[in-house]
Amino acid sequence: MERWALVSGLNGDADLYEQLQRDLKRQRGVAYLFVLGDLIGPDQDCNHLINRLQQPKPGDLQPHCIYGWWEDQLLASCGYRGEQRAQESRLEHGETFQRRLQQGVAAEHLPWLASLQYGFIELDCGLIHGSSVDVGDSLDESTSPLLLLDRLTRLDVNRLFTARSARQFRLELSGGQITSCVKDHSGEQSQEHVVPKRSVIGIGAGSEYCIYDPGSDHVSFQSASANSRHLKQGFA
């Protein structure tokens, strides 16, 4: 089966994207590239990268992009999320921060950024920048398993790929149960529920990314900078 590459946190860095594309060409069987948000970032001219994501160079792996936290902040500050969100963004981050973001992205790119989806559902996998609750929801290997199970349940997926924490990890829910006893007018009913076998995968950010084989459920964590020094790290 064709493998997926999942990247995030490019933060407007076109050179980093070039490095990732080169690295992906060296990987066998990678047919899909998912960019899980944070295409842009503050203090960067992001226009070159946005142009390339919209119009890939010949030989590029076609990127499938969703929006992330930085895009959400930019779009909120520009009124694409409604006046209330724009005001919240101003109060939370200040106008200087908003200007730093806005200066890095030409206005002509805003409609394209605004058209990006919150996430993808591919097979039984959810691909999201944060989580099923919020684009800013940061999940990592120390997050409560109960909360992770909730995030998986909300999407009804078996694997949730997330980028917000910038961590590379795989947390597998491998077992467990709970007893639920409900008392109402029809009487009392007790049921045992078991934890479904599901996973949350942190894909990393920047030069650190993830390759996933849906056929074997194998996750491999990569580093484009390390690979360029002929080093590889990964596990099943």
Partner 1 sequence: MTTTHAVISCLHANLAALEAVLEDIDQQGISTITCLGDLVGYGPQPNEVVQLVRERAIPTCQGCWDEDIIDGLNACECSYPSQLAEKRGHRAHHWTADQLTEENKAFLAGLPMTLRKDQLLFVHGSPNSQHEYLLPDMNAFAALERVETAGVETLFCGHTHQPYIRELSGGSIQVKVQARGTKTPREETMTLPMRRIVNAGSVGEPRHGNTKATYVVHDPISGDINIREVDYDVAKTCQAILDAGLPDVFAWRLRHGFEYAERAEDASHVCER
Which residues contact partner 1 (rule: CB under 8 A)?
A: 141, 144-147, 149-150, 153-154, 167-185, 191, 193, 195, 204, 208, 221, 233, 235
The Cα–Cα gap between 76 and 90 comes to: 9
Biggest distance spanned by C-alpha atoms of the chain: 68
Q: How far is the CB of 150 from partner 1 (least distance, A)?
A: 4
Q: Which is nearer to partner 1, 129 or 170 (CB)?
A: 170
Q: How far is the CB of 50 from partner 1 (least distance, A)?
A: 28
The torsion region of residue 35 among left (phi > 0), alpha (psi -120 to 50) and beta comes to: beta
CB 74 within 8 A of CB 105: yes
The Cα–Cα gap between 39 and 234 comes to: 25
Q: Which is nearer to partner 1, 108 or 188 (CB)?
A: 188
The Cα–Cα gap between 75 and 82 comes to: 9
Q: Which is nearer to partner 1, 33 or 155 (CB)?
A: 155
| Residue for token pair 């149960």 | 177
The Cα–Cα gap between 44 and 59 comes to: 26
Q: Which is nearer to partner 1, 228 or 233 (CB)?
A: 233
The Cα–Cα gap between 35 and 113 comes to: 13
DSSP 75: H
Q: Which is nearer to partner 1, 129 or 167 (CB)?
A: 167
How many residues are there in the chain? 236
Q: How far is the CB of 11 from partner 1 (least distance, A)?
A: 20
Q: How far is the CB of 145 from partner 1 (least distance, A)?
A: 4
CA trace torsion 136, 139, 140, 146 (10° rounding):
160
Q: How far is the CB of 144 from partner 1 (least distance, A)?
A: 7
Q: Which is nearer to partner 1, 108 or 192 (CB)?
A: 192
Which stretch of DSSP H or E encloses residue 115?
A: helix 110-115
Q: How far is the CB of 164 from partner 1 (least distance, A)?
A: 16
